[in-house]
Structure 1
């Protein structure tokens, strides 16, 4: 094991102690392993003390030139993920992805410099963050959302479950991981609220659902109790917790069958946008979404198209409202 590989393992143990999610830990490890491989192959560097700012800048340039999935952190992963078969194989890496790579590399070297004192100088100290190109997230039309919901076969357990997950995500703005971790005890059907606990910091918040969704949740829970005694509100047919990738595939397949491109986070995004377009306020939305501040919420969702702004204006026009 080289010095830099040892430092990576040490870093991952540190991150695990911070109760970061499995997804975050996997992203950290994969990103840094790719950087380690580049340092070894291109510069014969195996010691963290030899890494300079120039190596980091050249690596960013290398990412921009190499294309998606052309390099992997572990060769064995090719036999599982088959990157060569992807439709976007070799296409340009997005600025958002590159920005995330740089951010994770910075976290790694900050750890080595400030916490472990393994390096005297941080090679990332003077490297500026990359500002990703912001793409406007598509607001799905009501008819598109209705087509997706109707695409689920609600005569089957998993089809009905996926329909209910989709409906709840759209009505509450829950993250998919939060939704799939729900238990019936978290629901208050009388006050139409759901108690959500953040597994990272144990902070709690309430989200709310409509009377229509409340009636459907009652029916779902009766149906679920007949087929399963699982701890979870939306379990698998075996009673275990449904994992986000499985639901994401089901949602994408349902969307594809009715010619609608959709993914779980898009439901959260559409909830937030429709909430604002229908007259909701930013402060309340920020609380519902579980953001740390209103500024974070606005930064994430203040990307309305001209058409969306025009429609909102027509609803809230002073001349129209005052009947002038």
Structure 2
């Protein structure tokens, strides 16, 4: 009789709990990848398959091991290698970034916090482990010219080209996450007041974001175009009328931006929305609400990475001497 891996059993229960709390598919995929890899490591390297036998040292050793092993050199299921072909990836074997290691640590900690909360384990092995804090990379602020070039790369005469163009402009104009925009319905849009209700948010709490008059005209044109080609319930459906996959949008952005020598990602447009909002005189408190952050402090930590050039541009706009008749 085959022995049951208790950690895998508890992890399956944990994923059901995450799903019941409405966590995004992207977050769920992240948990699946990182925690299952850790569970495999425990079984292969230490013969540990029970939650209560996991020690703090196991986790510390694993985080060191992750730094040393190369990308895609270890898989959750070796059988998937034949289908996915990780050896053919250009970054195969490269060192894993500190950001990825920090994500692994965060996901493993969340799993064991759950086990401790549910009284599956008496002692939480993640307690006392110093958090990995990777150095934040300054996110580039796309210039007006770069944004113009990027938007021109889309062929708006096609259904998917027009759709992806609108989505890109919506992110830049509202600061919404791509995962929050994909499932919206026409009833979530108030064109008259320039408001959009986001129901599927990262926090699980509904919130409003707002769009400009220019975006309102773009959106109206898209809805009229969309209605001629599909009766889908979604504002941004696939060509067959189904719910869009986030990765499809990400691939589209990468494809179109590289056609014009750029590398634009959905979250980068959200980041640019926030920076341009601040540069143009917006306040932190309102920005925090629009972005759906839990506090102003969270927003400030995320968007205080202005470059010297960006700071200089903002200074020139708000300089006391420039704005006073003296």
Aligned to 1:287: 289
1:72 aligns with 75
**CA distance in structure 2 between the aligned counterparts of 1:14 and 1:235, rounded to whole angstroms:** 28
2:116 to 107, 113, 116: 113
Secondary structure of the 1:87 match is coil
Q: For 1:2-41, what aligned pairs fall within 5 Å after superposition?
A: 2-41=5-44
Structure 1 residue 132: Cα displacement: 1.8
Question: What does residue range 82-97 of structure 1 map to in structure 2 within 5 Å?
Answer: 82-97=85-100
Task: Please state how far the C-alpha of 1:49 moved relative to its aligned partner.
Answer: 2.5
Counterpart CA distance in 1 for 2:208 and 2:193 is 11
SS of equivalent residue, structure 2 residue 207: strand
Match of 1:162 in 2: 164
CA contact (8 A) 2:71 2:91 kept: yes
- Matches of 2:131 and 2:248, distance apart in 1: 34
Q: In the alignment, what sits opposite 2:102?
A: 99
Structure 2 CA distance for partners of 1:120 and 1:192, relative to 1, 3 Å: closer
Per the normalisation by structure 2, the TM-score is: 0.94
Shift in Å at residue 199 of structure 1? 5.3
SS of the aligned residue for 1:194 comes to: strand
CA change 1:191–1:14 in 2 (3 A) is closer
TM-score, length-scaled by structure 1: 0.95
How many residue pairs align between the two structures? 323
Cα distance change on mapping 1:19 and 1:221 into 2, 3 Å? closer
1:224-235, aligned counterparts within 5 Å? 224-235=226-237
Which runs of 5 or more residues in structure 1 are unaligned?
A: none
Q: What do residues 109-140 of structure 1 show as CA deviations (whole Å, max 9, x unaligned)? A: 2222331x333322222212111211111111
> What pairs up with 1:1-324 in 2 under 5 angstroms?
1-115=4-118, 117-198=119-200, 203-324=205-326
CA RMSD of aligned residues (A): 1.6
CA distance in 2, matches of 1:290, 1:113: 29
Distance 1:133 1:199, change over 3 A: closer
CA distance in 1, matches of 2:204, 2:12: 27
Structure 2 alignment gaps of length 5 or more: none
Q: Given that residues 203 and 292 in structure 2 are in contact (C-alpha distance below 8 angstroms), is that contact kept between their aligned partners in structure 1?
A: no
Q: How far apart are the structure 1 equivalents of 2:76 and 2:162?
A: 38
1:202 CA drift (Å): 5.4
Distance in 1 between residues matched to 2:208 and 2:12, nearest whole Å: 37
**In the superposition, relative to structure 1, how do residues 13 and 224 fare at CA in structure 2: closer, same or farther (>3 Å)?**
closer
CA distance in 2, matches of 1:76, 1:84: 13
Give yes or no for contact 2:7–2:39 (8 Å, CA) kept in 1.
yes
